[in-house]
């Protein structure tokens, strides 16, 4: 598990007593040994029915477990965001809904980070592509505990809208991130990739037209004012950097649009092609020269638990020779921003082979009705969650069962490929009605959002049919 110690809620490691440090280390070893077994066993399981506390919530789109695994942030459809308390114990009947925030636009993706002392300020950025032009909205939840006991105390929440920005028209892809106290958006507006860097605290903005031509999204990292684009492929990684780019940030009003500041159009200060450890010769990916690579970037990374390294995870697919379907391949490594900037600045060690985890998965990836695929990184990028199909035989004959696997990747201090055997996660629930999922590397907490199946009704069709049905949305929480 690398350095992801299971700390108490909203406590920095420097504030822990010797006893608390020993408890955290012991818990870390238990989680690590459990997850390293062929079939990890959960030690606790409970269910949270969202509609019991907040009726008529719109359907869940995506969510993320906050650092240390004690709270979960959910993005629903219709621009609704909710924050839920997952901490075990506490007084009976404690309210689990901590906050609800609504914005006027339908959003398609979100990112979040934590700031302030003990990470009690949760900053959220949401992207809406339904507006013309597309919009980025930034807001925050400030959690204040009335006592020093953040393990069970109920926080008071102050919600604040921080900023609203418009970006250029999106042609192929758009992604957002919160890094270095800034909001970063990169998207394809034509042939070239455009980056917008937004200072949501002091209302400054930078729009950059790069020389990167791509219809699929590269990954991007903002580190100490410099911008790094990287795109991993079969045997190499293409890296481009813009040194000290944030010095060009300019003041703008809220609701700023492209054109409120002059677009900077320039080639990267330095670019390089880094050699990656190749896949095994038996990999089917070697046989397809036209692979399309998709970036999977864990939310809220880099961070202290990743040793300030950025998980570089890319996925592609090839046609299976045994089933008429496409199967995934994964490339995962650690992109260290400081080391990468130094290599590009000096030109040294650019030909050194870069270690990575390469995984050829067997079987197709299960997906939601809207096409959202269940191949998801964990909170710190140490593992992947993957739902696939396994043929089961019962009294009615053969049938496909959806199965969840946990796939270990390289941890931050490893520089060689480790055994990437997937681990089956046997769960007492049906994954057929799953909406999305996340896994906390820090606390060993698995959260699965699903539709309850013990009530009548169906969510097929329009949004109105969902509201008129009797189905509930539930969170299944498993503690490992």
Q: Are 68 and 6 in contact (CB under 8 A)?
A: yes
| Token representation of residue 190 | 């034509």
| Token representation of residue 281 | 């010769």
DSSP 367: B
Identify the burial level of 416 via C-beta atoms within 10 angstroms of its C-beta, where 0-12 means exposed, 13-18 middle and 19 or more buried. exposed
Per DSSP (E only), the strands in 214-301 are: 219-223, 226-232, 236-242, 250-251, 264-265, 270-275, 294-295
Per DSSP bridges, beta strands 434-440 and 473-479 are unpaired
* 171 alpha-carbon distance from chain centroid: 23
Q: List the Cα angle 363/383/478 in 5-degree steps.
A: 90
Alpha-carbon distance of 465 to 457, in angstroms, equals 9
pLDDT of residue 455: 45
Give me the helices (H) in 167-276, please.
none
Alpha-carbon distance of 472 to 460, in angstroms, equals 14
SS3 35: helix
Alpha-carbon distance of 304 to 199, in angstroms, equals 22
Alpha-carbon distance of 246 to 221, in angstroms, equals 13
Closest CA to 1 of 379, 329, 386: 379
DSSP 382: S
List the pLDDT tens digit at each of the 480 positions of the chain: 345 778 877 777 777 888 888 888 888 889 989 998 989 999 999 999 999 999 889 999 999 999 888 899 999 999 999 999 998 766 666 789 999 999 988 898 999 999 887 788 999 999 999 888 999 999 999 998 876 555 567 788 999 999 999 999 998 899 999 999 999 999 998 889 999 999 999 999 999 999 999 888 899 999 999 999 999 999 999 999 999 999 999 999 988 988 898 999 999 999 999 999 899 888 989 988 789 999 999 988 887 778 778 899 999 999 877 666 788 999 999 899 999 999 999 999 999 998 888 999 988 899 988 888 999 999 989 899 999 987 665 556 555 789 999 999 876 555 444 446 889 999 999 998 899 999 999 899 999 999 875 544 444 444 444 444 567 899 999 999
Alpha-carbon distance of 47 to 449, in angstroms, equals 10
Beta partners for residue 161, in sequence order = 139
Residues in the chain: 480
């Amino acid at each position: 598990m690398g350095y992801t110690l299971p700390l108490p809620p909203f406590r920095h490691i420097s504030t822990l007593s010797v006893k608390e440090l020993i408890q955290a280390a012991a818990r870390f070893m238990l989680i690590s040994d459990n997850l390293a077994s062929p079939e990890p066993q959960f030690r606790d399981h409970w269910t949270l029915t969202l509609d019991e506390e907040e009726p008529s919530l719109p359907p869940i789109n995506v969510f993320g477990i906050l650092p240390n695994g004690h709270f979960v942030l959910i993005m629903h459809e219709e621009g609704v965001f909710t924050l839920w308390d997952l901490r075990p114990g506490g007084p009976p009947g404690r309210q689990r809904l901590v906050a609800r925030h609504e914005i006027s636009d339908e959003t398609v993706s979100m990112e979040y980070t934590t700031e302030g002392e003990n990470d009690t300020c949760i900053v959220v950025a949401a992207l809406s592509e339904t507006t013309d032009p597309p919009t980025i909205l930034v807001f925050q939840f400030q959690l204040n505990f009335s006592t020093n006991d953040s393990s069970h105390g109920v926080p008071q929440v102050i919600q604040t809208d921080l900023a609203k920005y418009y970006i250029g028209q999106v042609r192929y892809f758009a992604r957002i991130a919160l890094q270095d106290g800034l909001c970063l958006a990169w998207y394809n507006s034509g042939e070239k990739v455009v980056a917008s860097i937004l200072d949501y605290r002091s209302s400054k903005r930078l729009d950059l037209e790069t020389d990167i031509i791509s219809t699929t999204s590269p990954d991007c990292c903002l580190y100490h004012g410099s911008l790094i684009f990287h795109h991993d492929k079969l045997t190499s990684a293409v890296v481009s950097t813009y040194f000290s780019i944030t010095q060009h940030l300019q003041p703008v009003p809220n609701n700023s649009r492209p054109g409120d500041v002059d677009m900077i159009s320039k080639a990267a200060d330095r670019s390089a092609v880094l050699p990656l450890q190749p896949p095994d010769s038996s990999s089917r990916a070697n046989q397809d020269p036209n692979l399309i690579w998709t970036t999977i970037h864990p939310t809220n990374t880099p961070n202290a638990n990743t040793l300030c390294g950025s998980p570089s995870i890319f996925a592609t697919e090839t046609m299976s020779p045994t089933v008429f379907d496409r199967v995934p391949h994964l490339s995962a490594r650690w992109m260290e921003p400081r080391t990468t900037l130094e290599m590009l600045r000096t030109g040294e060690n650019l030909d050194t082979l870069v270690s990575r985890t390469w995984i050829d998965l067997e079987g197709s990836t299960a997906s939601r009705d809207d096409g959202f695929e269940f191949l998801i990184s964990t909170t710190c990028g140490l593992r992947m969650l993957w739902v696939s199909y396994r043929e089961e035989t019962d009294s009615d004959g053969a049938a496909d069962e959806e199965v969840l696997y946990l796939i270990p990747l390289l941890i931050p201090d490893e520089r060689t490929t480790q055994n990437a055997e997937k681990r089956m996660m046997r769960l007492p629930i049906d994954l057929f009605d799953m909406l999305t999922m996340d896994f906390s590397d820090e606390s060993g907490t698995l959260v699965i959002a699903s539709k309850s199946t013990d009530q009548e009704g169906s969510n097929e069709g329009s949004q109105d049919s969902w509201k008129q049905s009797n189905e509930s949305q539930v969170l299944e929480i498993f503690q490992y």
